[in-house]
Amino acid sequence: MQHVPIAHLGPGIYPSPIHQIGGVEAPFKQDDRDRVLYDSSLRGLEAPDRAMTFEEAGPREQLFFDPPKTTVGIVTCGGLCPGLNDIIRGIVNQCHRQYGVTRILGFRYGYEGLVQRYGHTPLTLRPDSVAQVHTFGGTILGSSRGQQPITEMVDTLEDMGIDILFVIGGDGTLRGASALVAEIARRGLRKAVVGIPKTIDNDIMFLDKSFGFETAFAEAVNAVKCAYTEACGAVNGVGLLKLMGRDSGFIACFAALAGSNVDYVLIPEVPFTLDGTGGLLESLRYRLAKRGQAVIVVAEGAGQDLLQTDGSTDASGNMRYGDIGLFLKDQINGFFKSRRMEVNLKYIDPSYIVRSVPANAQDNVYCSRLAHAAVHAAMAGKTNMLVGRWHGAFVHLPLEMVTRGRRKVDPNSELWHAVLESTGQPARWS
């Protein structure tokens, strides 16, 4: 077996205080024995005995950090996502109640909060102060985008005596966490940095799903229903719905499948054309002539090759995308006007509604378990890693491994085939 290694600050010397939880023996894990296979089946494996495995998450019997003397920090970065407050609450409760960690600080407004000259005073977090935060959307700590000076952030960790930092964020945030680990190691410090992957787009590699995704696409389904209602309420009605998905179309796909009244799903992974007999506009004209209404769901990153952009980037270093929703609205209206055919298009962009709602019950549970797994790993001295779920099991993954690229919808996958079956749209545009 090829074991994916996880960085470790050193051997555990403190016995875990959670030998029993409610009278039941704690399910302690062993790094070399409790592993999860990368491949869920042996199909295509030439050498099964060399299969890659991930370290299984869970409590360790020996801890690197002495809980009563440990100080924990939490930071949330990037855009908002359902479940952020659930993660914060889960970390605080697990640290305080199960491990006896009493000093927990929440850094405000993302990585800005780790740069002292900005003046963002950290919040002291306790179980009673986070008891109801999961009922609210967003994050009680605030968030921000963009890079900050790594040296100044590590200075703050030293000045405030932070032993463990939990970083909750997406791809850019996790790359920042990896840079923090490198600077901590350069200084010879013994601090753990553990990531909890957050992306509403569900695009982090080697994960079944990211937290908040279930809530996000469930909220998007409501928008699909509204788009369908608007389309049915007028002659040649078109409901055009733009959803999140910069580079990955998972929300668009799942919302369309769950809503089941969608005629076209446009995602970044599958290029499409507007003009010509095999383009979207002629296909839409035929669909309206046949059925009288149509619903189009488009991911924000779809069709960027059709738009003119200035090549600028946002605070996180991501390319600024053109607004494909407004572009399609103008193109569709112009196309039907040129053909003297009536069309009634209603454009809906629920992006900030989708990302700002509280997590649903399914995500509540998922966030709690992610938070617990992250605390177990950090207290054992593991660092430069994140926790996630893979094939239904919670695992440890190196930060460097998961930030190599983005998880995308495979156009040859069963998921995309199911979308094609549901919508009846062309498999290829020409």
Query: Is 38 part of a structural domain of the chain?
Result: yes
**DSSP class of 271:** -
Yes or no: say if 160 and 191 are a contact pair by the CB < 8 Å rule.
Answer: no
State how far the Cα of 175 lies from the Cα of 205, in Å rounded to an integer. 13
Q: What is the number of residues in the chain?
A: 430
* b/e per residue 54-70 (b: at least 16 CB within 10 A): bbbbbbbeebbbebeeb
Residues 140 and 76 in one domain: yes
Residues 57 and 181 in one domain: yes
How many Cβ atoms are within 10 Å of 51's Cβ, its own excluded? 14
Query: Is 427 part of a structural domain of the chain?
Result: no
Cα dihedral sign, 314-88-90-190: positive
Number of domain units in the chain = 2
Residues 191 and 224 in one domain: no
Phi-psi map region of 419: left, alpha, beta (phi>0 left; psi -120 to 50 alpha): alpha
Domain stops at, among 287, 320, 355: 355
Residues 141 and 55 in one domain: yes
Query: Is 425 part of a structural domain of the chain?
Result: no
Query: Is 414 part of a structural domain of the chain?
Result: no
Residues of the chain with pLDDT under 50: none
Domain stops at, among 355, 377, 392: 355
134: helix, strand or coil: helix
The pLDDT value recorded for residue 23 is 62
| Domain ranges, residue 80 | 2-210+359-402
The pLDDT value recorded for residue 39 is 73
Phi, psi (degrees; rounded to nearest 5) at 353: -70, -45
State how far the Cα of 390 lies from the Cα of 207, in Å rounded to an integer. 5
User: Tell me: the pLDDT tens digits for 290-317?
Assistant: 999 999 999 999 999 998 776 676 666 6
**DSSP class of 321:** P
Dig out the tokens for 308 from the structure.
């003119």
CATH of residue 98's domain is: 3.40.50.450
Yes or no: say if 42 and 48 are a contact pair by the CB < 8 Å rule.
Answer: yes
Dig out the tokens for 212 from the structure.
């908040």
In SS3 terms, 21-89 reads as ECCEECCCCCCCCCEEECCCCCCCCCCHHHCEEEEECCCCCEECCCHHHCEEEEEECCCCCCCHHHHHH
196: helix, strand or coil: strand
Residues 233 and 257 in one domain: yes
CATH of residue 257's domain is: 3.40.50.460
Tell me the one-letter amino acid at 140.
I
Distances (CA, A) of 58 to 38, 66, 132, 167: 18, 18, 26, 18
The pLDDT value recorded for residue 429 is 87
Residues 375 and 244 in one domain: no
Out of 201, 203, 263, 363, the active site residue is 201
C-alpha angle with apex 252: 428 to 400, nearest 5 degrees?
A: 95
Residues 237 and 366 in one domain: no
Dihedral through CA 195, CA 196, CA 201, CA 202, nearest 10?
110
155 is catalytic: no
Q: Determine whether 282 is exposed, middle or buried from the number of CB atoms within 10 Å of its CB (0-12, 13-18, 19+).
A: middle
State how far the Cα of 395 lies from the Cα of 1, in Å rounded to an integer. 16
Yes or no: say if 96 and 126 are a contact pair by the CB < 8 Å rule.
Answer: yes
Residues 95 and 9 in one domain: yes
Residues 195 and 330 in one domain: no
The residue assigned the tokens 């593991």 is 382
Query: Is 411 part of a structural domain of the chain?
Result: no
Please, which residues have CB within 8 angstroms of residue 75's CB and are 6 or more apart in sequence?
106, 107, 110, 111, 113, 114, 141, 165, 166, 167, 168, 169
State how far the Cα of 161 lies from the Cα of 393, in Å rounded to an integer. 33
State how far the Cα of 293 lies from the Cα of 230, in Å rounded to an integer. 9
Task: For the chain, state the CA radius of gyration.
Answer: 24
Phi-psi map region of 36: left, alpha, beta (phi>0 left; psi -120 to 50 alpha): beta
State how far the Cα of 263 lies from the Cα of 422, in Å rounded to an integer. 8
Residues 36 and 71 in one domain: yes
The pTM assigned to this predicted structure is 0.91
Phi, psi (degrees; rounded to nearest 5) at 385: -150, 170
State how far the Cα of 328 lies from the Cα of 411, in Å rounded to an integer. 22
Domain stops at, among 326, 355, 384: 355
Query: Is 421 part of a structural domain of the chain?
Result: no
Residues 130 and 226 in one domain: no
Query: Is 419 part of a structural domain of the chain?
Result: no
Query: Is 428 part of a structural domain of the chain?
Result: no
Yes or no: say if 156 and 114 are a contact pair by the CB < 8 Å rule.
Answer: yes
Chain mean position to CA 73: 21
Residues 280 and 174 in one domain: no
Chain mean position to CA 4: 22
